[in-house]
Amino acid sequence: MNSRQNQLKAFDRLLTIMDELRQKCPWDKKQTLQSLRHLTIEETYELGDAILDNDLNEIKKELGDLLLHIVFYSKIGSETKDFDIADVANEICDKLIHRHPHIYGDVVVENEEDVKRNWENLKLKEGKESVLEGVPKSLPAMVKASRIQDKVAGVGFDWEEPYQVFEKLKEELDELQYEINVQDQDKIESEFGDVLFSIINYARFLKVNPEDALERTNKKFIKRFQYLESKAKENNKDLVDMTLAEMDVFWEEAKNII
């Protein structure tokens, strides 16, 4: 791996290139914090895909794309004299030191749960009115639910045992079934949301990331369905003309392969 000297040299090279692009490239010169936002979100999802695929070469590339965005935002901030890359780096360094008193202070912790609890308590002492302030409003609902549960658990608002969460999940499923029988669409949606929230919470107790788990299933389903499509073509059949039983033959084949 690269030495610290080479790492800093590479980072300096990126900063220099960013300066040049901002001066000379028509596209780069036009960009603003707002115009880059959706691109940053897209790059973040691409990194997430690479991580799920465990494609280390692709992870390296996507990290580079995200690093470029951080440098780009910092460059724009320096042009308005609001902040630059040093301010960004020092801000996170200061936060990490402050939020890790068990490393940089005299606080003693027993495990990672103590660390998380201290982290949330420190945030409240910094002036935040709610432990949930740090959950971005624009997060996808499943990710947001997971982060909400993490946050409140960090201050002790949590179930004690996994079986309690599972019992709560079964309770929510019963309530959903009741509303389905009653056929109240608004309450069905509400109870369905409660079921999803509960199963996401249960995933936390199982030490499963629900977003990753669902995306793995998405990818698996896509591969299996595409296998079904390819087998249908091999047999000169269109899916719309096939019966469910016919499609299920290929689906079972796919399950044994994928």
| HSE-up (13 A, CA, CB side) for residue 226 | 7
Q: Could you tell me which residue, 42 or 121, shows the higher pLDDT?
A: 42
* pTM as predicted: 0.69
Run of H or E residues at 138? none
Give Cβ neighbours of residue 120 (< 8 Å, ≥ 6 apart).
131, 151, 154, 155
Judged on CB neighbours under 10 Å (0-12, 13-18, 19+), 255 is exposed
What is the model's pLDDT at position 108? Answer: 87
Q: pLDDT tens digits for 47-58?
A: 988 998 899 999
Average pLDDT over residues 6-27: 97
User: By percentage, how much of the chain surpasses pLDDT 90?
Assistant: 79
Do residues 193 and 172 lie in contact, with contact meaning Cβ atoms separated by under 8 Å? no
Asked whether the predicted pLDDT for residue 33 surpasses 80, the reply is yes
Q: Band the pLDDT of 160: cuts 50, 70, 90.
A: very high
Q: pLDDT tens digits for 174-227?
A: 999 999 999 999 999 999 999 999 999 999 999 999 999 999 999 999 999 999
Q: pLDDT tens digits for 97-154?
A: 998 999 998 888 888 888 888 877 787 777 777 889 878 888 889 999 999 999 898 8
What is the model's pLDDT at position 129? Answer: 77
